[in-house]
Structure 1
Amino acid sequence: MPGSKDYYDILGVERDADQRTIKRAFLKKARKVHPDVSDDPNAEEKFKELNEAYSVLSDEQKRANYDRFGSADGPGGSGYVDFSDIFGGMGVDDIFSSFFGGGRSSQGGRARRRVGRDMAITLSVTLEEAALGCTKTVSYDRLAPCEDCGGTGRAEGAVETQCPRCHGSGYVTTMQRSIFGPMQSTSPCPDCGGEGTIIDHPCDMCDGQGRTPTHEKIDIEVPAGISSGRQLRVRGYGEAGFRGEASGDLLVTVVVKDHDRFERAGDDLLCVVTVSIAQAALGCTVSVPGIMPDETITFQVPAGTQYGDTVTTEEFGMPRMDGTTRGRAIAQVRVEVPRKLSGDARELLERYAEVVGDEVAPHRSVGERIRDAIDDMLD
């Protein structure tokens, strides 16, 4: 892979390393180079490079593309939806900072949050996918329960005991003298980090937190009839809690892409159909492909339809979320006026104009128009 980064070398693993080995190597190096714990002026760049390598090698599809083509996306792009832009919960930097910078003691004198936070992503689907319902695979970063210790934070055989300093309360009280007399303050215990307990042998993988940064991949079931802005909740797939506490949820906001033929209005589908002057005057039927596979919508255009009028067909719109009925298909009619007429067509229209009393421009032959043009030039 000339010219490309060697992700295996960056992580320090063999090319046949399994996922656990890759994760261990990443966490081991990340603890040294993460900007929250390293004094190296280049720590941020080193961590970005390390995270890039882990992002690729920890995902089986990206890794396969990288091994074969030298790129995580392969020659034609990846085959799943990749969401690294977590919002509404934790950003990618927040995830790693929370883990690497939040070791055994609380930061800034604050007690550690134990229950996992909710996370949020957006998921784009086509109008056809929204109509039928679909399953979309998404990939994102989160703090997940540690696989080595099962989320407990304890290595095998480790013992968790009451903190002798705070006696299990998680807080210590200190007295300070001031000009106003003795002042009492309470803060998280520095020995146990506000937990009230101490683990004699923390898990090597998670450093006693019971959770590790993980590239998660899950299937999202998108129900038929869903609309833009609708939110799906996946229980337990947000940030994992500290040492086995409850995980947050993953909130998936669905965005339905614009369609080249239909515009959605609630459960109705709006489109445009074009008819000729004769069809608008005499009435006709117009058929267009529907939103469902192999579906055809037939619109009845009544005689005398004007430009901009609408016609409706029931039960050919979007499925309603309750699964019982569908919305309507509504078509705006556009009457197309021909730019050129054959001799027979012109004669018929002129006869029609005469019958109804319409004044029209007199028809002039090509030869007559040429003579007029020559006369204008000679004048």
Structure 2
Amino acid sequence: MATPAGDNQQAAVNQGGHGAIRPIGDGSILAKNAPQGSIENEFYARIRQGRYPHLTPVVPASYTADQVRYRQPQVTEPLDDRTHVYFENIAQGDVKKLDTKVGDKTSSRRELMEQHDMSRTGAALKEIKLSIADLATGSSQRGWRVVGGTDAPESRLRAGMNSQDILRSFSEDPQVWDQLIGKMEAIRAAAQQTDIGFIASSVFSVHGNHNGNEVVEAKLIDFAHVIDADRPLTQTADLAAADGRQNSPEQSTSTPETGNGAGPTTTAQGSSQTVNWTEMKDKYRSKFLEGMGNLIADAKAVREEKRQATVAGAANMRVSAATATAGSSAQPTAVPAVSTSSQQVLPRR
């Protein structure tokens, strides 16, 4: 049975994070505004080209406009690689969703100035705003925060402040947590084996039912601020041609300078300071890996809580059955119930 359009639209909003995102065709593919020349457009192109092979299994599959037309010939709306990226919708069907942003710092003023051509003032204001959010939501201590999902409030601030409770409510089934933790560990391992830095990327998790099949999935999403020190993520004509995409009329052909063996360097807009991409990549790569480790540890604590609750529930069912059997006697022996209150307090970070 096809997923209702409204459900697909909501899935698109949750899976894609910021920006205009919509399902196309039967809803199995999402279109997101990310023009050629943007970091996210280039990142997905590099994934398709096999530039980051360890990340391929943990990132949503993406497609060129021509590939989308081939997969979904019923689509009549214009599709253009110069304005959008197209990737799989992992949130189809009757599923719960959870979007967790990873890292204790989700912005970099210098990255915003250099990779997104923001002014010094604009980049500083955005960094201040997001730094306040990092502190207020607990990201600075925890290393991750909830930014959206089925049980999350619309306010990102409120969602972040209640991250641990929202994580805990995502599923009552320990087996679901077994699978999710395995997928989270795969994401961390892939990032560990890939020499790039992630700023404000997210783990998007779902579980539920789609077309009668159980679904448990987690993918790494949100790549607008990825840092590749060896080859900065700026659009190049040769990659677009090799990928089969339509070329943008304006392509960047600049190459970074090399700074005294310390890695590629460039000068940020409006700044006399030189950006050392290797240093910045290493910093945010470390923050992402640490945040993923904390998220996995908290998920494991939730899993243990759910296991204990399951065991206690099964014990209470046996107690109830025994009590009912003994109910025919005049004075049945009272059997104490087993408490189901086994909720653990997740460690505060």
TM-score (norm 2): 0.31
TM-score (norm 1): 0.29
- Larger strand proportion of the pair: 1
Which structure has more RCO (C-alpha within 8 Å, separation ≥ 6)? 2
Larger-gyration structure (1/2): 1
